[in-house]
Amino acid sequence: MLNKVASTPSGTTTVCTGPWLDSHADELGVPVVVQRKVQIWFTPKTDAFDASRCPAFLVDRAAFIETFYGFPDLGDGVKAAFHTGGAITSMDRIDRVVSTDDVAPIRAALETWMPGAGDRICSAAVCQYAMTPDEHFIVGVHPREPSVIVAAGFSGHGFKFSPAIGEIIVDLAVDGASRLDTDFLAPNRRLGITQQAPERGGA
Ligand SMILES: Cc1cc2nc3c(=O)[nH]c(=O)nc-3n(C[C@H](O)[C@H](O)[C@H](O)COP(=O)(O)OP(=O)(O)OC[C@H]3O[C@@H](n4cnc5c(N)ncnc54)[C@H](O)[C@@H]3O)c2cc1C
């Protein structure tokens, strides 16, 4: 996994390469796959979706093909995207071009939930989630390399946990163990039989 390891005061190295870890994750036990995510910003028809009047939202309804979320207009349009779903891919093959097939279901969901919000597209972007099968993170000592700490597989919800993850990594690097219960994040934790890795595709 590591070609060059710089020496550090704690004698450990932390690998936190996000979705770029995927091709090395098989060494861990818990697989990581890259999932393509499309986000669209729309210019709404009215000012009803300004941040001063409209909250951020996450909607999980049978009417939508996937869990749907977005942000009000903070000056750059209403952001809308699906939290779940998306093609399984890899960082060297991910399709960065936003197509009409990407836009249509997002716009339909937005117009169903917030009519008038999806009037015109102002921008769009493709990003990626680094998914584990159980959607828990991978934070712990590498099963075969005791001097390597892995922090990855944040499954689209890692940002808000940054302070706790940082604390765990420091504990592992300095003391060799975390004061927090991190068994459910272990790189080689046991997965349920329904939590096998999806196949890597080419989108
Ligand atoms: C559209 C979108 C919306 C999101 N919304 C939320 C949210 O609302 N709340 C939330 O909690 N989380 C959210 N997330 C998830 C959150 O952004 C991720 O969980 C988090 O960024 C993962 O952090 P990371 O450090 O593992 O990976 P990254 O942030 O991807 O960082 C990995 C870094 O490693 C570097 N790197 C890779 N390979 C190497 C190498 N060989 N050498 C040196 N550096 C390397 C990369 O350049 C990169 O800077 C969202 C993600 C996306 C894509």
Q: Do residues 73 and 120 touch, judged by C-beta distance below 8 A? A: no
Q: What is the pLDDT of residue 22?
A: 72
Q: Do residues 161 and 133 touch, judged by C-beta distance below 8 A? A: no
pLDDT at 53 over 70: yes
148 exposed, middle or buried (CB, 10 Å; 0-12, 13-18, 19+)?
Answer: middle
Its domain, for residue 160, covers 13-32+134-185
Structural domain includes residue 62: yes
pTM of full prediction above 0.85: yes
Structural domain includes residue 55: yes
Regarding whether 87 and 47 lie in a shared domain, the answer is yes
Regarding whether 156 and 142 lie in a shared domain, the answer is yes
Regarding whether 41 and 27 lie in a shared domain, the answer is no
Structural domain includes residue 198: no
Number of domains into which the chain is organized:
2
The CATH number of whichever domain residue 140 belongs to comes to 3.50.50.60
Give the tens place of pLDDT for each residue, 156-175.
999 999 999 999 999 999 99
Biggest CA pair distance of the chain = 57
Looking at ligand 1, which residue's alpha carbon is closest to its atom 47? 17
CA of 18 to the centre of ligand 1 (A): 5
Identify the bridge partners of residue 127 per DSSP, sorted by sequence position.
37
Instruction: For residue 158, give the ligand 1 atom closest to its CA.
Output: 19
